[in-house]
Amino acid sequence: MITIGRPSPALATGEGVISGQVVNKTANGSAVGTVEVTLTQYLNGTATSDGQKVTTDAAGKFEFRGLSADNGTAYTVSTSFQDADYISEDIVLTSASPLQSVELDVYDSTTSDENIQVSNGHMVVYVIQGDLHVEEIWRFSNIGDRTFIGMQGKAAGTTLRFTLPAGATYLSPGQASSIETTGTGVASNVAVPPGITDVTFSYFIPYQGSSMTILRKTNYPIANFSLLVEDAGVKVTSTALTSGTPQMMNGTNFLYFTANNVAANTELDAALSGIIDPSAASSETFSLWPWMLGGVGMLGLVVTVAYSQLKKKQTTTVSPAPSDRSSGQSDEDALLMELAQLDDAYEAGTTGENEYRAQRARAKARLIEAYGGTRV
């Protein structure tokens, strides 16, 4: 398993010992030699202080002594080898088992992506008035025995590439993802070791009218691809995807489309009709606005913002006041309240349509940024 930037801490004194060896699992791979290994201590899942470091011997062996074996304490060992970072699973010491041995696997690195495949790809589309919120979940398989660090090596900063649909904006990486924008979409700089690597991110696609088409060009061969569109009275057709049985996820029904053995550079399409026309605003449509931000539902990473509940709690119409915020209220809560007040003012006729739409767009953009989104 590879990680980036996990915190490192100093260790408590005790009787525990963690010993191990850094092993290169690439067939006929390079000798590990002497490398630095860092031991990180976690108490109830939180790193506690600066890490303890040792240098391996010529055979890659290392040892850490004087460690705590208290309940709730865990450790990891990590190292860097040929421009890729590696970390062990959690190591738990107890009074009954204060001595643990671990093998820290590393691999030779490569700048060739010939062994990188997509085993599963998913697009999940939520229909919001004026926007589609799209979450993408990609599972990559490295079937070789070398870690892919990018076509130009780690210095280039790009390993996996994703071409986004036209108009995509406000990119938000999922948990444990490292994503940055590029000229044509987004890219990840996470090294891809042998085995499975998951990448998740989300973005918005603004639209006008009651229909639109999503076009998504594939960057890699995909063994299994699925598209799920929130079943909000929307009709979906596709020339590249096959319609399947509707699915339920987190209590929401989705229209379901699939494709198998999709070649790289294939254009996947989904034509949506009957979506909420942003120019036909009404109190009914606004009460259906479910903000889904900064995560991926099918991997348990969805963060749901209870905007509709905020609207229900309001009993009076208040003119929008972006700078007003009650003591102790978070920026996110203040922005949600501002949006609710804007909707109430518009529905009551105290705010004109042009002014309303301009203020609402600005508030929505600030809310997305407050939740970690990056404009593409």
Predicted confidence pLDDT, tens digits, the chain (376 residues): 333 333 334 444 578 999 999 999 999 999 999 999 999 998 877 877 668 999 999 999 999 999 998 887 899 999 999 999 999 999 999 888 999 999 999 999 999 999 999 999 999 999 887 889 999 999 999 999 999 998 775 555 688 989 999 989 888 877 555 777 777 788 888 899 999 999 888 899 999 899 999 999 999 999 999 999 999 899 999 999 999 999 988 788 999 999 999 999 999 999 999 988 777 654 443 433 344 343 333 333 322 223 333 333 333 222 233 334 344 445 555 666 676 677 667 667 777 665 665 566 556 655 555 555 555 6
3-class DSSP state of 282: coil
**3-class SS of residue 121:** strand
State whether residue 308 is helix, strand or coil: helix
Range 16-107 has CATH code 2.60.40.10: yes
Residue range(s) of every CATH 2.60.40.10 domain in the chain: 16-107
Q: Which long-range contacts (CB under 8 A, 24 or more apart) does 237-242 make?
A: 237/270, 237/271, 237/273, 238/268, 238/269, 238/270, 238/271, 239/269, 240/266, 240/267, 240/268, 240/269, 241/268, 241/269, 241/270
pLDDT at 190: 84
Say how many C-beta atoms besides its own lie within 10 A of residue 266's C-beta: 16
CA dihedral sign, ordered 144, 146, 149, 150: negative
pLDDT score recorded for residue 256: 97
Which of these CATH numbers, 3.40.50, 2.60.40, 2.130.10, 1.10.3470, describes 116-304?
2.60.40
- Which DSSP state fits 343? H
pTM: 0.68
Whether the Cβ atoms of residue 38 and residue 10 lie closer than 8 Å to each other: no
